Amino acid sequence: MDFNTACEKAKTFTKRPTDAEFLEFYGLYKQATIGDVNISAPSALDLKGKAKFEAWNKHKGMSKDAAKAAYVATYEKLAPKYA
C-alpha cells in the first residue's frame, strides 16, 4: 500500500482512533508532506495546537520517505481496529 492510499483510507475509518493514535497519524503526515517543523511552537494555553506541534516535532530529522513508510505501517496496524 502506498502513502496516498493509506491517507485516503484512514479518513474512512468508521471509529475514531484515540487521541494518541490520531496525533501519531498527524505527526507522521506532516513530516511526510512538509518535513521538519517549520512553524513556531504555539502558546502553552493552546493545548490542542501544542499537542499537534509536539506530535509533528517528535519526528524531526526523519526523511519524508521514512515518514511515509511509518504512516503506512501505522495505518496497517490500526486499520483492523477502526476500519
Rounded to 10 degrees, what is the CA torsion of 6, 7, 8, 12? 90
User: Is there a contact between 9 and 80 (Cβ–Cβ < 8 Å)?
Assistant: no
Backbone angles phi, psi at 17, to 5 degrees: -65, 160
Instruction: Provide the CATH number for the domain around residue 28.
Output: 1.20.80.10
Distance in angstroms (rounded) separating the CA atoms of residues 24 and 13: 15
pTM, full prediction? 0.93
Rounded-to-integer distance, Cα 27 and Cα 59, Å: 7
Question: pLDDT (tens digit, 9 = 90+) per residue, 20-74?
Answer: 999 999 999 999 999 999 999 999 899 999 999 999 999 999 999 999 999 999 9
Instruction: Count up the domains in the chain and report the number.
Output: 1
Domain span holding position 31: 3-82
